[in-house]
Amino acid sequence: MKKIIIITLFFLLYLTKMNSQNHYFGISVGYTTSSATAPDGNFLISSDGLSQGQDFYDFKSGFQIGLQANIDIGNDFYHLELAPQFSQYGFGNQTKISLNYLDFDIGGSNFNSEVYSKFAFGGGITPSFLISSENIEEINDFDLKVYLKLGYRFSGRFVFYSQVRYSFLELVPDSKVKNLQISFNLNYTIFKI
């Protein structure tokens, strides 16, 4: 079974490379604000442990920086998007909790499409790996999020966009607390191959 999957992936990548010539690579930087959610008044985390509370913690500011690759898959309007990023998350109640993740966006977007459009959009999933945390003891090292991007293209190289990420998995085991991040970013395309 593994051989079939590997051969199929290799064949698809080979066909994509043969039929596509517009791959774009760039950088993204931005401001983030994030919080944690606990729907329906579930238990929340505080410096004193778990407590009953509101649906959202206080928002915490941060930043993100990373690379972005838009890979031509044979469609002039939409590209495969791969974007590894360092991203700061966090939230506050009595104390500020800081979380640093390596996020890896996997999805699609029209950020560098051959069919020019002033409005940019994209979406996909984000596997996230915890790098470090402050003021919290028990935390899951892995998170899986869904993301949505909406933006405006100023030129062929610059796209200003906002992005929302929402977690599928629990931030703390058995707590139902999940990450939420909103960011405002600038993407600059460095080169095309």
3-state secondary structure the chain: CHHHHHHHHHHHHHHHHHHCCCCEEEEEEEEEEEEEECHHHCEEEECCEEEECCCECEEEEEEEEEEEEEEECCCCCCEEEEEEEEEEEEEECCCEEEEEEEEEEEEEECCCCCCCCCEEEEEEEEEEEEEEEECCCCCCCEEEEEEEEEEEECCCCEEEEEEEEEECCCCCCCCCCEEEEEEEEEEEEEEEC
CATH 2.40.160.20 fits 22-192, yes or no: yes
> How do the pLDDT tens digits run along the chain, 193 residues long?
456 545 654 554 554 554 556 788 999 999 999 988 876 555 555 544 444 455 677 888 999 999 998 888 777 677 889 999 999 998 877 778 899 999 999 999 888 777 778 899 999 999 999 999 998 888 889 999 999 999 999 887 899 999 999 998 888 887 788 888 999 999 998 877 7
pLDDT at 12: 46
